[in-house]
Amino acid sequence: MKVTRRSFIHYTASLSVSAAALTTMGVMGQPIAAKKDNVLFIAIDDLNDWIGALGAHPQAKTPNIDRLFHRSTAFTNAHCQVPVCGPSRTALLTGMSPTTTGLYTNKELGIKPFSPVAESVLGSSPVLPQHFKNNGYYTMASGKISHHGTADFRHAEQWHEEVPLYVIGPRDAHIFANGYGYGSYGKDDHKYYPFPVGGGQVIQSEHYGPGTPGMSLCSGALERRDIPNGGVMPDEYFADWTVERLKKTYDKPFFMACGFIRPHVPYTAPKEYFDLFPLDEVIVPETIPKEMADIPIYGKALALGIIPNGDAAAVEKINMRKELVQAYLACITFVDAQVGKLLDTLEASPHANNTTVIFWGDHGQNFGEHMNYRKQTLWSESTRVPLLISEAGQKQGQICSQAVSLLDVFPTLVEMCGLPKVATNEGVSLVPLLRNPNFDRKIPVITTYGYQCHAIRDQRYTYIRYRDGGEELYDRSIDADEHHNLVADKQYQAIKTKMAQWLPKNDALPFGMTDFDNEGGDFITKILAKFENNGIPVYLQ
């Protein structure tokens, strides 16, 4: 059985929310909070819109995220700046777009050491947790907040407390001995643990090869004996650490961040979560025959991707699509349980009525739609993210369908908590939408992946333009899943022209480059060269 991926739900009935003012104006026009609320900042890795309350997958089981949804302003048309982990998180945490920083891919985030890169981009500007720490907040973090953990740079400047690393110890020798994932990735890096027993269904090669650590499309239900640290998943470890800190009292407001790794690959979770989704009952997203026929060559290149043997053809060849969807659903429900621990503890704590909760995902994930099984494209499966803001004391939820972005999070929290504005923030505060979800911001959202490749989205349309001038246009009021490219349709030319006006005018070169073409271009350049030498794969034609 197949199901069409649904667009985010829109409520027709308006839901009320208190419009009490949060701030008063202080010197130099900066907002100063009458009382600074705490912030619980929950980040989820690779979570698309498969949340029960959003209705994007009929089998999604997320009771805890759903209850947060129903007491939040739920931004149902939220998109990331970059559809890949590192640059997306960097944009949110710095408040700066990739077209300003030149940080377009994880490759730039992998420059060692990264601190000089970050400092040259940021200058004296603070990152989000640092700004809270500089303004009287007690800051704590666990899990994946930046790309490589709680911070990629400025650790001491951002956090008073950080969770210790999750590592494999001597008692886990039997797990490390299996070699798959652990052998090539290294036992002292905790980020993607645990791997499937025996490698699971692995796409790149018959087991994790050098250069592709943690990135294989693989899945597996785990018994507790197959999980390091005495059977404790990393996300359970991060949740428990955060729970203990939510129980404490503090002499200043806190900014507490918890970043969960699942549902990022490898798609592993304790077996009881897989049991909730019997394989023979799993529903996979619908794919459209020949849907790539009207996609420009740059779009085809993004669909192919950069992971060796990790494209859609490889997945289809070994017939593991249902297994991947099952595992992804299981991982979502697993991480939902960890979110539930935080919400339960917060609700029972002294902080229940003076803590704002923000819940966000760094980008989406494809499962065969647009012939892709990852993220890293400009279509909505890759760009759309969950974004929920539950203000301190808020009991009743509301829906906002305006186009918003993760770049808006930094200035929103600054305004909500009465902190000084940061001049380099490029996003726009969402506070007007918290007060009135129908407020028309009159600005679209820009998502970028690859140098001079952008998607522009408003409430109705999606316009994509690639570096070579290739274009796509979708009317989501009749084509919610962006399957039918209307760019050649004459009746939409005025819309295309209007959307194109929002394209960035000055795209920063990828960090470290001075001449894009003469220095070999980027990853898309390399894929296009493969097309030229070997032809475009049949399934992308």
User: Could you list the active site residues?
Assistant: 85, 147
Task: Please give the helix or strand (H or E) that residue 473 lies within, else none.
Answer: strand 471-475
CA 351 to chain centre: 27
The partner residues of 302 in beta bridges, in order of sequence, read none
CA 386 to chain centre: 8
Q: Is 379 exposed, middle or buried (0-12, 13-18, 19+ CB in 10 A)?
A: buried
102 contacts: CB under 8 Å, gap ≥ 6: 108, 121, 508, 509, 510, 511, 512, 513
Rounded distance between C-alpha atoms, residue 430 and residue 416, angstroms: 9
Length of the chain, please?
A: 541
The token pair at 77 is 């048309």
- Whether the CB-CB separation of 157 and 186 falls below 8 Å is answered with no
- Whether the ω angle into residue 270 lies within 30 degrees of 0, i.e. cis, is no
Rounded to 5 degrees, φ, ψ at 257 are -110, 135
For every residue of 233-297, DSSP letters joined together read -HHHHHHHHHHHHHTS--SS-EEEEEEE-TTSSSEEEEHHHHTTS-GGGPPEEP--TTTTTTS-H
Rounded distance between C-alpha atoms, residue 461 and residue 464, angstroms: 10
Rounded distance between C-alpha atoms, residue 141 and residue 154, angstroms: 13
Task: Please give the helix or strand (H or E) that residue 465 lies within, else none.
Answer: strand 461-465
Residue 126's nearest CA partner among 102, 144, 151 is 151
Rounded distance between C-alpha atoms, residue 313 and residue 127, angstroms: 40
Rounded distance between C-alpha atoms, residue 167 and residue 515, angstroms: 41
- Whether the CB-CB separation of 85 and 147 falls below 8 Å is answered with yes
The token pair at 151 is 């911070």
Q: Is the dihedral of CA 336, 342, 343, 344 positive or negative?
A: positive
- Whether the CB-CB separation of 261 and 361 falls below 8 Å is answered with no
Rounded distance between C-alpha atoms, residue 110 and residue 393, angstroms: 40
Rounded distance between C-alpha atoms, residue 23 and residue 311, angstroms: 50
The token pair at 507 is 């795209």
| Share in percent of the chain as helix, strand, coil (round to 5) | 35, 15, 50
